[in-house]
Structure 1
Amino acid sequence: MSEPLMLFKKPSYPINHSLKDYLERFDRISKVSISYDDLLRFSGSINVYDKDNHDTLWIRVYYTEFERDEIDLTLKKIYSLLHSDGNLGIIKFLNVDSIDYCTFGNSKPFRVKVRNILNDNYTHFYIKKADASRIYGLELEHILSPDKINFLVYDDTLIEEHIMGIPGDAFIKRQLGNCTEIEKAQIAKEFVKFNERCMIRLLGDMRSYNYVIVATHDFDHVVYKIRPIDFDQQCYEGNFKVYRPQFFKENYPMVKLVKEKLQDSSIEQYKDEERAALAKRIHSAENRIKMLLHIMGEDVIAPESHVNQLKLELYRYTNDLNFKRAKSMGKIMSAAFEFVTRNYKNRNLFKT
């Protein structure tokens, strides 16, 4: 039996003053006061089951009448900040249908369902304990991905918008087998790109339940994309394999699909396309990324042993001395981005 890639639960790292200043500059600080700990004071709960009557491991929580009124108003204000720049005029049209609490995972988030009473459209957002690693991951995703992410921070509380899509594990189990052969080839292509993207930006633990499959109908076919939804493991683990989704057993059906549907030359082509896209995004947002990576480079978001292990593994993988010289996870991330942008034109970024 193979050794698990991740052995210990990741601790939460505080937000330092420099990161708070950065978040303030880019409008990531909530104007509405909210506390994760306040939501923990629920008075009762029931289990939440899916449509097949399976326990989702979420519980629906309830509060006393006095607390619920105050909490509902705060959550509606948060919704307005996320989706309409704080326009309080929409609050009278909103209803907080449910507040669910996740009983597993690192972040133990609350999931809030807000509905528009005029048309019954609804959306979700999440409230978690703020963690510096997660915030760096969210911000890097916002800058380097074509998909923007709304999130807000208030003291030690993090508010994230919901990322829509089909959970990867559910898609693999229920829908992958029903896809056409052309669709399977397209999904294989996207997994190669996703794997490369996570590796370069050091986003770890992308097991199948930590990403979603987004299906978009385009003329006579469906286009599939893969988006991460959990940013807890940004630049934390020392084992380089943690940042490569291909090595998680939960993703084996995707890896098998790549082997069946893609030739080696196609795999290299798609890797190159993803590196090119990342290099262009890094260049286009150069000042913002430099600012973020400088803060990240001075921050402590992983044990020193993890930093030493990862930088040596990356040095052996790339032969780039900048990795070997890195003194923090942020400096390793800077070295990775410099490596991508410096060597992109040579078409020889990483060993195969």
Structure 2
Amino acid sequence: MSSSGPLLKKQYYPISAPLYAYLEKYRRVAKTNVFYDDLLRFQGSVVVYDSNKEDTLWVRVFYNELEKKEIDLSLKKIYTLLHSDGDERNIINLTVDYIDFCTFGNSKPFRVKIRNLLNDNYTHFYVKIADASRIFGLELEHIMSPNSINFLVHKETLIEEHIVGIPGDVFLKHHLDKCTENEKAQIAKEFVKFNERCMIGLLGDMRSYNFVVIPIYDYDHIVYKIRAIDFDQQCYEGNFKLYKPHLFKENFRFTQLVKEKLMKNSIEQYQNEERSILVRRIAGFEERLGELLQAMKASELSPSINFERLRRETYEVTFDKNFKNATSMSDIVEAALNFIKRNYHTHGGD
């Protein structure tokens, strides 16, 4: 399979008992009255267009009056669970502005907009089918990246908070050309670091529309960060190249930016920095990460043919026997983390 070719639609993997126990321990499990299947019972829909009158691939859905009242209340309760630990004292001030459904991609999520009537502030969250590989992706992102992740699981339903940022493909089309040369160099640096995190953590399919670019204003300049927003392809693919964002044709301009703005030794420096920082993060979450990896070992995350190929390809890159002796995708992740712990010291910096 080409690193930039279409990925096959993956199946959903159920949440194993060890994974559910892990989620309960770390307060990721919540009771809710609304399930993904409930939201599928919409009565009609209209296409959602962006400000340029282009189809967003989302449709706005509508429910009959009786179901809408019940669904809206449940969604507002979910909002309080995500953002205020279930405190419902101000739920009367919340309203559901809309519910959108996306048929593009694997997860087919619902996007919910909740607005505070007192001040018009609003936020989004997503309702999806609870897939084990996606949940592991979210947890690994929470542990291994500089970004905390807020999500909840109830039986077969997954609730994810919205990750703020400009989708990578939109950024390339409308924003990159407006950046200064210094900003482009800084974006190149962040893409190198992002590429490294995805490769080590085995987060696949990071095409430009599956991550966001986040501009942060710092005194008199803008700092850019890059973070993943789609964790569907966590530990799934067998082709090691699919865990390297710089190889996707959709990310060509980011990759080109790295070549134009960074010297080879600078690229190696930023890779080493990210690995060193990652070692510190692993040390800070050692117990939790160990429990997560144990739960992963008890879960099916990909077809055996994918695992066999990835085990072979990672061993051919590293010649580390821990990859060769791996018996699960979790073993490969663990081998990758142990590999960088042995080979990189915590002297890197931003």
TM normalised by structure 1 equals 0.97
Letter paired with 2:216: T
Q: What secondary structure, in the 3-state scheme, does the structure 2 residue paired with 1:159 have?
A: strand
Give the conservation status (yes or no) of the 8 Å contact 1:43–1:62: yes
SS at match of 1:14: coil
Residues 1:14 and 2:32 are matched in the alignment: no
Q: How many residues align?
A: 347
In the alignment, what sits opposite 1:41? Answer: 41
Report which structure shows greater RCO (CA 8 Å, sep ≥6).
2
SS of equivalent residue, structure 1 residue 31: coil
List alignment gaps of at least 5 residues for structure 2: none
Equivalent residue letter for 1:154: H
Distance 1:345 1:175 in 2: 36
**Partners of 1:95 and 1:33 in 2: CA distance:** 17
* 1:134-187 C-alpha deviation (Å, 9 max, x unpaired): 000001111112211110001000000000000000000111011000000000
2:122 maps to 122
Partner of 2:233: 233
Aligned-partner SS, 2:52: coil
SS at match of 1:256: helix
Q: 1:7 to 1:81 in 2, by over 3 A?
A: closer
Pair 24,346 (structure 1): closer, same or farther in 2 beyond 3 Å: closer
CA distance in 2: counterparts of 1:18 and 1:211, whole angstroms: 29
Superposed CA offset, 1:197-237 (max 9, x none) = 10000000000000000000001110000010000000000
Shift of 1:7: 4.0
> What percent identity do the matched residue pairs reach?
62
Kept in 2: contact 1:34–1:154 (CA 8 A): no
One-letter amino acid matched to 1:256: Q
Q: Check the 8 A contact 1:6/1:242 in 2, yes or no.
A: no
Alignment check: 8 A CA contact 2:166 2:212 kept? yes
Q: Describe how 1:49-198 pairs up with structure 2 within 5 A.
A: 49-198=49-198
SS of residue matched to 2:124: strand
Q: CA-to-partner distance for each residue in 1:296-323, whole Å, 9 max, x for gaps?
A: 0221111111111001111111110100
What is the CA-CA distance between 1:342 and the residue it aligns to? 1.6
SS at match of 2:344: helix
SS in 2 for 1:222: strand
The alpha-carbon distance between structure 1 residues 3 and 329, as it changes in their structure 2 partners (threshold 3 A), is closer
- Aligned partners of 2:277 and 2:2: how far apart in 1? 34
Q: 1:299 matched to which residue of 2?
A: 299
Distance 1:256 1:238 in 2: 26
More displaced stretch, 291-300 vs 115-124: 291-300
Structure 2 residue identity aligned to 1:24: E
User: What is the DSSP-based 3-state SS (H/G/I as helix, E as strand, rest coil) of the residue aligned with 2:291?
Assistant: helix
- In the other structure, the counterpart of 1:334 is 334
Query: Which residue type is aligned with residue 159 of structure 1?
Result: I
Q: 1:30 Cα shift?
A: 1.1
Which residue of structure 2 aligns with residue 350 of structure 1?
Answer: none
Separation of aligned partners in 1, 2:20 and 2:314: 30
Cα distance in 1 between the residues matched to 2:2 and 2:312: 22
SS in structure 1 at match of 2:272: helix
Query: Given the two structures, how large is their TM-score scaled by the length of structure 2?
Result: 0.97
